[in-house]
Amino acid sequence: MIAQILFTLILLAGIGYFWSNVSKAIRNVKLGKPSHRDDRKNERWRNMLLKSFGQQKMFKRPIPALLHLTVYLGFIIINVEVLEIVIDGVFGTHRVFAPLGGLYNFLIGAFEILAILVIVAVIIFWLRRNILKLLRFNMPEMKGWPKNDANIILYFEMVLMSAFLTMNAADYKLQLLKYGHYHFKDGIVGSFPVSHFIANFLPTDPHTLVMIERGAWWFHIIGILIFLNYLYFSKHFHILLAFPNTFYAKLPPLAKFENLESVKNEVALMMDPNADPYAAPVEQAEEPDRFGAKDIFDLERIYLLNAYTCTECGRCTDVCPANQTGKKLSPRKIMMDVRDRMEEVGKNIDKNGSFIDDGKSLLDYISKEELWACTTCNACVEECPVENDPLDIIIAVRQYLVMEESAAPAELNMTFSNIENNGAPWQYSQMDRLNWVDED
């Protein structure tokens, strides 16, 4: 009974802390402006099924895609077994689903095969990051915590799978010994294609085996709860957020930019032949929206969700032509910067009860050099496996710089002046632009 109470308390504490962090993430995302993406529902559901469940974009690189799919399926399917662990822990039962018979044996066997495949995939991922040192995993923004975070997750997965197999191995051997409640009248319960090999290396003393089985059982479930709560602080938050992120992603045409409503209205008024050019401007009841985005409050919520969902895989940066030519721009870093600023604002709110202006903005994280290096080619958006859109964030901050700070590069300012004075981007008046016709 004490073990059941202790387990229940740990379970409730783990789930409670996880929900408190998820609530913070929801609050932080809602700091942005509403995103109106409730159209084309059928396309959105299809997009989510293909991109999140099916991991469609991952298969542009088949080998890492298959490895990732193995880990993903292992994580999802093996954790179905957690339901049994929770029921056993709360009610003091042991292998409560054993009456399922052949189906139960099949499931346990499938879980074990997946577990060993996950361990193999994780080892390969670790080698790619730390021995082969693939370039996209070793860029400037991937130093320190981002690099450590990726490795911590790999260690977590390996340890959890090892604990699962060790628990099953000890259980299998105790069933062979027909010891206590591990003995089932119908014989061996469960299929153990992997752990029965591990059982050969375990002691034969039943008391020691019980300690190993119980130790691995507690380690496994507590490890899962720790892993669950670690997600919020990790890039692996995308395990949960990829589903809403792909559902609300921009649908084709992806390269279409949204016009600023306030600018569009002004241009429409200028082009209206019936408008009175001498009429007094209409007084606005409220302050007009900022042009573009200076801080996270100016971005749509979907882009803040993008930042939390970023997997830090670096595929966007890997295909970025500006980055390939040595420019400072890294689309991955843009997403990480938005997330870091969002977390900073969130901590400000936690500390003060509401946001108190700290004098900072996204421009304290993202340099102008990075912003203006972007060619707006859309390669990063096309490549992202979870449908993030760093390009729209870059465009929004650029709009702010140009329209509110007049901080465009000299080449652009010259173009703006030429358009204003000459009606064209070139340094020739409209009268002079056709002089070439008269040349011999």
Segment 272-300, tens digit of pLDDT: 777 766 666 666 556 667 888 999 999 99
pLDDT over 90 for what percent of the chain? Answer: 60
pLDDT at 54 over 60: yes
- Bridge-partner residues for 33, per DSSP? 300
In the structure, what pLDDT confidence band is assigned to residue 415 with cuts at 50, 70 and 90?
confident
Q: Where are the domains of the chain?
A: 2-28+61-247, 261-269+290-422
pLDDT in tens, 419-439: 878 777 877 766 666 666 676
- Number of separate helices (H) and strands (E) present in the chain: 18, 0
pLDDT at 79 over 90: no
- CATH level 3 topology of 261-269+290-422: Fumarate Reductase Iron-sulfur Protein; Chain B, domain 2 (1.10.1060)
Query: Which one of 83-97, 99-113, 359-373 scores highest in mean pLDDT?
Result: 359-373
DSSP 300: B
How confident is the model over 190-217, as a mean pLDDT? 92
pLDDT at 413 over 70: yes
pTM: 0.88
pLDDT at 211 over 90: yes
How many alpha carbons fall within 13 Å on the CB side of residue 234? 21
How many alpha carbons fall within 13 Å on the CB side of residue 299? 31
In the structure, what pLDDT confidence band is assigned to residue 160 with cuts at 50, 70 and 90?
very high
For 85-122, give the DSSP string.
HHHHHHH--SSTTGGGTHHHHHHHHHHHHHHHHHHHHH
In the structure, what pLDDT confidence band is assigned to residue 358 with cuts at 50, 70 and 90?
very high
Residues constituting the chain: 440
Structure tokens at 247: 């559902």
Residue 280 sits at φ, ψ, to 5 deg, of -70, 140
pLDDT for residue 287: 63
| 13-17, 229-233, 317-321, 402-406: least confident range | 402-406
pLDDT for residue 286: 62
| 37-51, 342-356, 401-415, 424-438: least confident range | 424-438
Mean pLDDT of the chain: 89
For the CA atoms of 30, 32, 34, 39, what is the dihedral angle to 10 degrees? -90
Structure tokens at 6: 């202790």
- Sequence-distant (6+) residues with CB within 8 A of 237 are 25, 231, 308, 309
